[in-house]
Structure 1
Amino acid sequence: MNSAPDPARRSERARLAVLDSAMELCRENGFAQLTIEAIAERAGVSKKTIYRWWPSKGAVLLEAVSEAATAAAFHVDTGDLAVDMRTQLAGVVALFTPRDSSPVAALMSESQRDPSLATEVREQLIRPRIALFEERMRSAQRSGEIPEGADLGVALDLFYGPIYHRLVFHLDLPDDEELGARVDHVIAALRAMPAANR
């Protein structure tokens, strides 16, 4: 005898279909052309279903990007900070590649024009990932890879600043070799911090 369908499972399938559709459509047409109607049609759900879960297309894309970032740019702790940061930064770069059709880049660009979206991006996407970064850095401090007194705010800017600088000015994003060199330089700089600042 077959059991009754699980409404929660159906809802999760619909949710994932909406998120995937939002990412696909943003890649194809850009954020400006993205609409709830198009997302609903691609996902095979009603607009009412989408509006029940999200207040806007920006909110849909933000959740989709957040899940993609969690999957592609997570922080691992192998005990080797240089290896882990190269892996993590490569994941970040992949999220922005190719730049012209990246939903992540589109969301960041739109958040510069929409203060409300910028707040949501900061609170839902950026701050949680800063917390994960700081957790990985504290692990490196405990293991002696970087000094206990290393300024984690400075470390954050040194690791990620070059990527966002290149995005803003439409420069080529760093490849794996460049990422490795930058990671080595940042770790060396953190280790060379004057004792008075530790």
Structure 2
Amino acid sequence: MDAVYQLLQDKPAGHLTMEAVSKRAGVGKPTLYKWWPNKAALIMAMFQERLVGKFENLEASSIEALIRLKMKNMVREFNGLFGKVMADLIAEGQSDPFVLKELYEKHIAVRRAATVSDIEKGKLTGEFASDTDAELLVDAIFGPVYYRMLLKLEPLTEEYGERLVDQVLRGVRPTA
């Protein structure tokens, strides 16, 4: 995992090789293939072990505050190695559907379901309108962050994240 982590800081996932990992780790390629069937599986294992834990167990005073905290963390992480590896995995996934499937099932779907659940709680407490579609709300809030991270047409900043949450949540606040 150390070798993959270090190598990905210098090069994109597409340029990483099992040979480079085995050399950096001081193990033979057969050892790597014993545990991981391919480079994508190895990168995903490192991603899960080293980079993903930063999004776990967040607490806040309200669902909106929790969403804002998730946004702040996401923006910060997408601007570092986590974002680079995420973009690399998405790019790899364009030619290897296994990568996208693993990325979605092991990372994105879990966090998405948790946020959908949070929004459903917010509907029950009156924080959001009762007819709010939680899945669409998650897409509306977090989808643009992936867009900016991947295309790099505009900077991905905390201010952008705050403005995005402000704009999107305006449409789901309960009416008096």
2:57 is the counterpart of 1:57: no
CA displacement, residues 66-89 of structure 1 (integer Å, 9 cap, x when unaligned): 344532233623232233222212
> TM-score scaled by structure 2?
0.83
Cα pair 1:25 1:39 within 8 Å, conserved:
yes
2:52 is the counterpart of 1:70: yes
> How well do the aligned residues superpose, as a CA RMSD in angstroms?
2.5
Cα pair 2:3 2:25 within 8 Å, conserved:
yes
2:73 to 74, 80, 91: 91
| Identity across the alignment (%) | 27
Letter matched to residue 89 of structure 1: M
1:138 to 117, 120, 123: 120
| Partner residue, 1:181 | 163
CA displacement, residues 31-80 of structure 1 (integer Å, 9 cap, x when unaligned): 12211122223234333332222111111111222344532233623232
CA displacement, residues 69-127 of structure 1 (integer Å, 9 cap, x when unaligned): 5322336232322332222122222333258x811211111112222322222222222
Aligned length, in residue pairs: 175
Q: 1:143 to 1:69 in 2, by over 3 A?
A: farther
| Partner residue, 1:10 | none
Cα pair 1:22 1:64 within 8 Å, conserved:
yes
Gapped runs of 5+ residues in structure 1? Answer: 1-17, 194-198
Q: 1:83 to 1:156 in 2, by over 3 A?
A: same
Q: 1:75 to 1:142 in 2, by over 3 A?
A: farther
> TM-score scaled by structure 1?
0.75
2:18 is the counterpart of 1:33: no
Gapped runs of 5+ residues in structure 2? Answer: none
Letter matched to residue 86 of structure 1: R
2:105 is the counterpart of 1:123: yes
Q: 1:86 to 1:173 in 2, by over 3 A?
A: farther
Q: 1:146 to 1:75 in 2, by over 3 A?
A: farther
1:79 to 57, 61, 73: 61
* Greater relative contact order (Cα < 8 A, sep 6+): 2
Cα pair 1:74 1:88 within 8 Å, conserved:
no
| Partner residue, 2:152 | 170
Q: 1:174 to 1:187 in 2, by over 3 A?
A: same
Cα pair 1:166 1:172 within 8 Å, conserved:
yes
Q: 1:134 to 1:67 in 2, by over 3 A?
A: farther
Structure whose CA Rg is larger: 1
Q: The residue matched to 1:32 in structure 2 has which SS?
A: helix
| Partner residue, 1:9 | none
